[in-house]
Amino acid sequence: MTNHWIDIKNADCIMIIGSNAAENHPISFRWVTKAMDNGAKLISVDPRFTRTSARADIYAPMRSGADIAFIDGIMNYVIENNLYNKDYLVDHTNASFLVDEGFAFDDGLFTGYDKAKRMYAKDTWRYQLDADGNPKKDPTLQDPRCVFQLLKNHLSRYTPEKVSSITGCPSELIVEVAKTYGATGAKDKSGTIMYAMGTTQHTVGTQNVRTYAMLQLLLGNVGVAGGGINALRGESNVQGSTDHAILFHILSGYLKTPRVEDQTLAQYLEHWTPKSNDPKSANWWQHTPKYMVSLLKAYWRDKAQKDNEFCYQYLPKLSANCDHIAMFEAMYDGVIKGLICMGQNPAVGGPNVLKEKKALESLDWLVAADLWETETAGFWAEPGADSNEIKTEVFMLPAAASMEKEGSITNSGRWMQWRYMAVHPPGDAKTDLWILDQICKELKKLYQSEGGAFPDPIVHLHWNYGEGREEPDVHLVAKEINGYDLTTGQLVPSFAGLKDDGTTSSGNWLYCASYTEKGNMAARRGLEDAPNKIGLYPGWAWCWPVNRRIIYNRASCDLQGNPYAPHKWVVKWTGPETKWAGDVPDGGWPPGDKYSFIMKPEGHARLFGFGLADGPFPEHYEPLEAPVKNAMSSQQLNPVIKIWTGEMDDVGTVDKFPIIATTYRVTEHWQAGQMTRNNPWLVELMPDMFVEMSKSLAQAKGVKNGDRVRVSTARGHIVAYAVVTNRFKPFRLNGRAYEQIGLPWHFGFKGLAKGDSANSLTPHVGDANTNIPEYKAFLCDVVKEVG
Amino acid sequence: MAEKAILLDMEKCIACRACQVACKQWNELPGEKTTFFAAAGGYQNPIGLSPSTFTLVKFYEMEEQERIKWLFRVHRCMQCVDPACVKACPVTPKAMTHVKETGAIYVNRELCIGCGACREYCPFTIPVIDTEAGKSTKCTFCFDRMANGLEPACAKACPTDCLVFGDRDKILAMAHKAVDRLRKKGRRPAIYGEKELGTGTKKVLVLPEPLDYYPDVIKNPKVSEDLGLFHELLKPFGALTLTAALVGMVLGKVKEVKERKESLVSKTEEG
């Protein structure tokens, strides 16, 4: 989130899209309700009328996989009807920047596309530069090559009628949403967009998020109270997991994993450190060398010295994607031999669970650390599996639950909150920290004594979380993450103190200032709000970066530092002595000295987003399995996604699978169900797997509420109870009616409550930028189950 | 302490069932064995109140002028201001306990004989007799939490402040403010529990739509006039000799008398 949970209460309009916040983030509705008590309007955009829609002022039905068309349509309306915040666009975004004459868009493709390689060469996706090497601008936004005019042109194709025909949402409703949300373009009004996996889990997921960011920029809603682009993360600590770089393509604090062409540290730093010739651009990523070297010092401490590139050569260099789908494809093909699975249950979470379970059979060994023996840990004993034929050696490590261990979790709002251990773990269950510490210590010992292909990175890994202790000291881990001044041994007070000369270490530059000589900031529980009284609570826990609660917050002011919305000001300039008041300013420079979007080398937020793999402007493409041809162009699919064509990767077409399908979560169950399907109170609420369908579909299939039905896709089938409801209705796409169904994905073959796994149905295909699987839009068929 | 109440501002409900589960947790009640969902129109489980379920969220799916509506209602003991269940309880001292300070009404299991009179005379037919244990069961208003300065478990768990605990006069004022808020949004709200039964109830529901939209809600709840006759017929039996079976017999007798009266009335009307 650019903002945070409590801040939602400050919004004048809330759009919940690609999210069912009432069901999956129920506590967020505390803040949504407070906003509504103050007159805020709630808009729910969803293929299905949910418990969120039940609270909404406007419910807009939209078929799964049409989000870009929908929001591009809203943006088109905003531009056509002058609802955008022009001053904000000129002062804070690249709307006025001129784009290379060679850049163009035609029939679904931008310039630079290589069809054979399925990728773009981005030579034309750039600004025109002046003599100083800075982007040329037209602050009147009239130049035909300025971003604003190019965007306006690109979006002009997304009329309400066209959008209605693609999304299945009536055009009057599209206009009503655009008018209502567009009203937050007023200087003193703000709108917030709450989104989740309904947005991200598509082959166009990243561009989906881009449309929200762009809409918010058009309306001046970024950096303000009650605004922002707010991802409702899917687990309580997944924000922590991405911050600490559990994903293959990043290092701590969103530094880049070295690629194979970054052969030396110097080459790596040259490649990834952005430059700017504009003295008004803070270009914060220019400090990359300080963060990278400090990270290397955290990993290898005294071994890492200037003369050995701070052990840069110990880091693996990427030559291919190693995302979840690629990993399981490699497992299936016998390339990956062993898997450590901690608190994850891919045998239910999928996607394409039938292939992923088969992939587990190819492993030599599997280590599963979890609270229960999950469907993944017990895959070899699934009813129907022949365990005699399965050679995988499985190690089950009982793990401690979150209240059985001390440490921090980072929520969607970037708040790092410290937790104490409330109860001891049962039996032999151990904390993840203990498990990892034991594995690392043992690996070091073995590599030290037995050698190996390249033992140095492990043998020399700096690893001291409490000598002579059974349980590692999690406070030492937190301090390591914060970082040290290695010359004094003191904790660094913030990332401003990090250096690239090897005198500082930091496990994660973003978390610098979270644990300092003043103490454990994440453990604070201060109940006093900041003077601006917008729910910042700066003394409660700690958030990154440097406890700044609303990022990009200088964009909430004009260039003199006066808030656009004085009644809900975030920061304001009070003068050269007392400087900025309110939230931690996003850069303490006086107003007008530096541009407000400091993380971009040009200091401006990007309406023209050339950093993405699939295009600088969002364009509608159909999901891999789509009911219709792309009405916007002849480019049916996202042009840069990887299409997997191995065994068990079959793709379905609309002639055999005419019904749109999506998956979702419910309040009553949690993820792959290990915890909730073993809790009698929750099992009482939702004991069985079900599928929701419209009354018309049920009638056509001879199905009544409570009947058993078979749902099948090109990859497999499941059986579930039918929930026949008026909350699904067929969508009119290009004049024809298409039905859609929805499936909760929480069920599996183990536990107190068992049921077929919805992810037996989903495909192995991922987003163009993040590779997140397309769980949310595919094709199926439904029949009444006989016998 | 003043008489307490809970506001149930149902437009704010997100049907998360935190109240349902918090109640079970506090009262240490087991989860029931269920299949699929108890009723069409939503995710209700279990099918009704029981010795294991003191509060239940109900779902109402409907359509109005092509707009989908999904209404939610929390169903449990209304904690009447002038409780018929207490009046009906035949044992001495009464098993159905009415706490003076807070108004909490709960079953004292040590005294309860499981006769079912409370259920018979409850205008909402709430108490469920646990036939195995021989005890009446229902929402306790978390009298034990209240006695320790805490709010009821359901109100504490509710994330959206749909459920709010407080003094009844303040809760009624909040209910009226909620009605204003809902009218401004174009809804047609009804308060349920302010004037019902004359003196009202301590659970005050604000429903965003008229009562007709909730077909299982009793429109004009009334306490049966037979309560007097019931106690008359019990008089000959010493209070200490009362058993569930005995009381059951008396209730049967009351029913007989009532049916005879009604058939006489209808005969008179015919004739």
Is there a contact between A726 and B63 if contact means CB atoms under 8 Å apart? yes
Q: In the predicted model, is pLDDT for residue A469 greater than 90?
A: no
DSSP A155-167: HTT--HHHHHHHH
Is there a contact between B32 and A682 if contact means CB atoms under 8 Å apart? no
CA gap A53, B11 in Å, rounded: 12
To test the contact with chain B by mutation, choose from A685, A689, A725 the residue with the greatest count of B C-beta atoms within 10 A, namely A685
Does the beta carbon of B33 lie under 8 angstroms from any beta carbon of chain A?
Answer: yes
Does the beta carbon of B48 lie under 8 angstroms from any beta carbon of chain A?
Answer: no
**Residue A726, pLDDT score:** 97
Residue tagged 């009604």 (tokens): B262
What residues of B are in contact with residue A37 (Cβ under 8 Å)? Answer: 181
**Residue B235, pLDDT score:** 87
CA gap A346, A369 in Å, rounded: 13
Is there a contact between A668 and B17 if contact means CB atoms under 8 Å apart? yes
**Residue B247, pLDDT score:** 93
Calculate the alpha carbon distances from A24 to A362, A387, A406, A602, B15 in Å.
Answer: 35, 36, 25, 37, 12
Residue A586 structure tokens: 């996003």
Cβ atoms within 10 Å of B198's Cβ, excluding its own: 10
Q: In the predicted model, is pLDDT for residue B119 greater than 60?
A: yes
What residues of B are in contact with residue A726 (Cβ under 8 Å)? Answer: 61-63, 68
Which is nearest to A462 in space by CA: A440, A485, A446?
A: A440
B256 φ, ψ to 5°?
-55, -50
Name residues whose C-beta falls within 8 Å of residue A554's C-beta, 6 or more positions apart in sequence. Answer: A223, A561, A571, A585, A586, A587, A591, A596
To test the contact with chain A by mutation, choose from B9, B13, B14, B59 the residue with the greatest count of A C-beta atoms within 10 A, namely B14
Q: B198 and B36 in contact (C-beta within 8 Å)?
A: no
Calculate the alpha carbon distances from A773 to A211, A647, A747, A748 in Å.
Answer: 19, 17, 19, 19
CA gap A691, A683 in Å, rounded: 17
CA gap A233, B64 in Å, rounded: 34
What confidence tens digit (pLDDT) does each residue in B178-193 have?
Answer: 999 999 999 999 999 9
What stretch of H or E contains A417? strand A415-419
Is there a contact between A687 and B25 if contact means CB atoms under 8 Å apart? no
Closest chain A C-alpha to B156 CA, distance in angstroms: 12
* pTM for this model (two decimals): 0.97
CA gap B35, A755 in Å, rounded: 12
Q: A659 and A741 in contact (C-beta within 8 Å)?
A: yes
Is there a contact between B31 and A22 if contact means CB atoms under 8 Å apart? no
- When pLDDT is averaged across residues A357-365 and rounded to a whole number, the result is 97
What residues of A are in contact with residue B43 (Cβ under 8 Å)? Answer: 666, 668, 685-686
Q: In the predicted model, is pLDDT for residue B265 greater than 90?
A: no
Surface-to-core class of residue B132, CB atoms within 10 Å of its CB (0-12 exposed, 13-18 middle, 19+ buried):
exposed
Residue tagged 């034929």 (tokens): A389
CA gap A736, A734 in Å, rounded: 6
- When pLDDT is averaged across residues B210-222 and rounded to a whole number, the result is 96
Is there a contact between A684 and B32 if contact means CB atoms under 8 Å apart? yes
CA gap B255, B229 in Å, rounded: 10
CA gap A367, A344 in Å, rounded: 11
What confidence tens digit (pLDDT) does each residue in A233-258 have?
Answer: 999 999 999 999 999 999 999 999 99
**Residue B262, pLDDT score:** 86
- When pLDDT is averaged across residues A600-610 and rounded to a whole number, the result is 98
- When pLDDT is averaged across residues A311-333 and rounded to a whole number, the result is 96
Residue A454 three-state SS: coil
To test the contact with chain A by mutation, choose from B10, B35, B36, B50 the residue with the greatest count of A C-beta atoms within 10 A, namely B36
Burial A368-378 (b: 16+ CB within 10 A, else e): bbbbbbbbbbb
What residues of A are in contact with residue B10 (Cβ under 8 Å)? Answer: none
**Residue B271, pLDDT score:** 55
What residues of A are in contact with residue B187 (Cβ under 8 Å)? Answer: none
Q: What is the mean pLDDT of chain A?
A: 97
What confidence tens digit (pLDDT) does each residue in A191-219 have?
Answer: 999 999 999 999 999 999 999 999 999 99
What confidence tens digit (pLDDT) does each residue in A60-100 have?
Answer: 999 999 999 999 999 999 999 999 999 999 999 999 999 99
Q: A141 and A79 in contact (C-beta within 8 Å)?
A: no
Burial A510-537 (b: 16+ CB within 10 A, else e): bbbbbbbeeebbbbbeeeeebebebbbb
Numbers of helices and strands, H then E, in chain A: 20, 32
Name the amino acid, one letter, at A490. Answer: Q
What confidence tens digit (pLDDT) does each residue in A137-177 have?
Answer: 999 999 999 999 999 999 999 999 999 999 999 999 999 99
Q: Which chain A residues touch B if contact means CB-CB below 8 Å?
A: 22-23, 26-27, 29-30, 32-33, 37, 49, 51-55, 57, 59, 666-668, 679-688, 690, 705-706, 721, 723-727
DSSP A269-330: HHHHS-----TT---GGGGHHHHHHHHHHHHHGGG--GGGGGGGGGS--B-S---HHHHHHH
Residue A725 three-state SS: strand
pLDDT bin (cut points 50, 70, 90) of residue B236 is confident
Cβ atoms within 10 Å of B65's Cβ, excluding its own: 5
What confidence tens digit (pLDDT) does each residue in A708-756 have?
Answer: 999 999 999 999 999 999 999 999 999 999 999 999 999 999 999 999 9
Name the amino acid, one letter, at A407. Answer: G
What residues of A are in contact with residue B14 (Cβ under 8 Å)? Answer: 22-23, 26, 29, 51-52, 54-55, 667
Calculate the alpha carbon distances from A503 to A293, A464, A472, A513 in Å.
Answer: 9, 19, 26, 17
Cβ atoms within 10 Å of A664's Cβ, excluding its own: 25
**Residue B1, pLDDT score:** 64
What residues of A are in contact with residue B35 (Cβ under 8 Å)? Answer: 687-688
pLDDT bin (cut points 50, 70, 90) of residue B268 is confident
What residues of B are in contact with residue A26 (Cβ under 8 Å)? Answer: 14, 16, 18, 159-160
pLDDT bin (cut points 50, 70, 90) of residue B261 is confident
β-pairing, A13-17 with A191-195? parallel
Residue ranges of the alpha helices (H) in A451-543? 456-459, 474-482
Closest by Cβ to B17, choosing from A679, A685, A727: A685
Surface-to-core class of residue A5, CB atoms within 10 Å of its CB (0-12 exposed, 13-18 middle, 19+ buried):
buried
